[in-house]
Structure 1
Amino acid sequence: MAERRTSAKKAARTAPKAPARLAVRKTYKLYLGGAFPRSESGRSYPVTSADGDHLANASLASRKDARDAVTAARKAFGGWSGRTAYNRGQVLYRVAEVMEGRRSQFTDQLAAAQGLERSEADTVVSAAIDRWVYYAGWTDKFAQVIGGSNPVAGPYYNHSSPEPTGVVAVFAPQDAPLLGLTSVLAPVVATGNTAVVVTSEEAPLPAVDLAEVLATSDVPGGVVNLLTGRAGEIGPHLAPHGDVDALDLAGAGEHATAFEEAAAETLTRVLRPGNEAGGGERAWLDPDPGTSRMSPFLETKTVWHPIGV
């Protein structure tokens, strides 16, 4: 027995060591129409951690990429808005399920991107998952809360019901790359709209991870399209776009006024930045955001009907 132990030790000492591996550097792509294409421009930019360490490269979206994203969103709008509210709720809940299975990955990315303690990053990830569940529950309820029957004087009645606006361009919060992004994106798609999202420039990796979740869940291609890059470069092509029906300027920052003015050319609906702007992920921790981010992207249809003969 002693001889065998001695032989095993000698073999361990003489066994060749595994060669040192080179780091596998990633260049993350865009998410358009359910696929992950490279930027048409071929450009990318380095993404660093809160400590300045290189994490990966992200695609730098161009004008052509923005147009392709709008085209994909418009193509997907009819099918998505035509689904039953209950089914949209199931789809959004599935996003939460897939995120729950990848919780550790999201926590690591968020901690690296913003320099958060792991426990704090885990709190933010939990809130983001819960936010998808929250809006999944609203899909078949907001019509009853926002719509309703109207009192009239005459032999008729009418009732109003909300319908999705269409394609919404969303500028995600720059300092809240996961919970802030979820808080502005989920209500848009919960109400039957499709989205073109400009992610956080400095911390786009949590958004790319979310794109992978969307691609492997039940969300149809084109319902959500994610562009990484500079809001100031992409925004001027989205704000006045004739096929964009609404803008959410939550993360537009100093460009918000310019984008709003550009959107006026096509009478595009605009939601200005709220009090959360600049507050980081913590500013989006409200567990009950209500309908404040759903109603701006709904149109009201009123139907009149005669009573009697």
Structure 2
Amino acid sequence: MRKTYKLYIGGAFPRSESGRSYVVNDAKGKFLANASQASRKDARDAVVAARKAFGGWHARTAYNRGQVLYRIAEVMEGRHQQFSLEVSQSEGLSIAKARAVVDASIDRWVWYAGWADKLAQVVGSSNPVAGPYFDFSLPEATGVVAVLAPQDSSLLGLTSVIAPAIVSGNTVVAVSSYERPLPAVTLGEVMATSDVPGGVVNLLTGSASEIGPWLASHQDVNAIDLCGISSEDEARDLEIASADNLKRVRRPAEEDWTEDQGLSRLLNYLELKTVWHPIGV
């Protein structure tokens, strides 16, 4: 049966408001499915959903957010076979190698889940000050993060850019790989059947070159990750558009998603709030 996959916005699965879709082929050029091609309006709806979800998600305890990320890993484990097939078809890997990619993706969700209630201790600090005050610096979420996902790593790369953003309380609007969107679509189905509140993760399929400028210039987006943009000129234009409301821009060099990701992505989406309090009051 010829399928047309939908977007994932605000916990629902709408078609693109433009009615557009595009053909998705496997690594050998064989037809797999049709995917909705997100428009400017879809991107705007996704940002609205992410902003609406931010307050509740950020207000949850760090421990609870870690539980939710762990639940994502559990549900992914239950759909291991489907993910393996989609990664194999999309990236041209053998089933054995695709299974290893899925295993690594699941492990990455678990790894970031474990950091949820440890960030404050590792990143925060008690600061010595010259006066009768307590002074603390505490990490807080940045807000709505737009992610232009890696084009070559359809699942592991996507996981590696979404998980560190949401674990600290941010919400995400992600644009999947254009040629390899099926693992992202299935990940959206996992989000819908896990404990992730609607709007915390929004997944758009379509062209990052088309959607990226609207996300970069959107006044309610607080940070943007350009890891899916390979063109220097395009990345520069997105940086310029992002400067209008002082977005935090991440423009990383080419990454090996199989390696340990460290804390860099976690730290990129955090703000430090410093609190002063008089001693003895």
- TM-score grouping bracket, smaller chain normalisation: over 0.9
- Contact 1:142–1:291 (CA under 8 A) maintained in structure 2: no
1:28-43 map, 5 Å:
28-43=5-20
Asked if residue 67 in structure 1 is aligned to residue 44 in structure 2, the reply is yes
Q: Which 5+ residue runs of structure 1 have no aligned equivalent?
A: 1-23, 277-282
Q: 1:294 aligns with which of 258, 261, 266?
A: 266
Instruction: Measure how far apart 1:154 and its partner are.
Output: 1.5
Give the letter aligned to residue 139 of structure 2.
P
Q: 2:242 aligns with which of 219, 238, 263?
A: 263
1:165 maps to 142
Runs of 4+ in 1 over 4 A off after TM superposition: none
Residues 80-126 of structure 1: per-residue CA shift (max 9 Å, x gap): 00000111011000000000010000000000011101111111100
Q: How many residues align?
A: 279
- Contact 1:251–1:273 (CA under 8 A) maintained in structure 2: no
Instruction: Measure how far apart 1:290 and its partner are.
Output: 2.2
1:297-308 map, 5 Å:
297-308=269-280
SS in 1 for 2:265: coil
Instruction: Measure how far apart 1:133 and its partner are.
Output: 0.3
Whole-angstrom CA distance in 1 between matches of 2:80 and 2:279: 56
TM-score of the aligned structures, taking structure 2 as reference length: 0.98
Asked if residue 144 in structure 1 is aligned to residue 121 in structure 2, the reply is yes
Give the letter aligned to residue 68 of structure 2.
V
Identity of aligned residues (%): 68
Whole-angstrom CA distance in 2 between matches of 1:273 and 1:27: 32
Q: 1:127 aligns with which of 94, 104, 115?
A: 104
Give the letter aligned to residue 149 of structure 1.
S
1:1-309 map, 5 Å:
24-254=1-231, 255-276=234-255, 283-286=256-259, 288-308=260-280
Whole-angstrom CA distance in 2 between matches of 1:185 and 1:308: 42
Whole-angstrom CA distance in 2 between matches of 1:34 and 1:216: 10
TM-score of the aligned structures, taking structure 1 as reference length: 0.89
Supply the RMSD in Å over aligned alpha carbons: 0.9
Instruction: Measure how far apart 1:148 and its partner are.
Output: 1.0
Q: Which has the larger radius of gyration?
A: 1
Whole-angstrom CA distance in 2 between matches of 1:229 and 1:257: 21
Whole-angstrom CA distance in 2 between matches of 1:248 and 1:143: 23
Instruction: Measure how far apart 1:275 and its partner are.
Output: 3.4
Whole-angstrom CA distance in 2 between matches of 1:102 and 1:268: 36
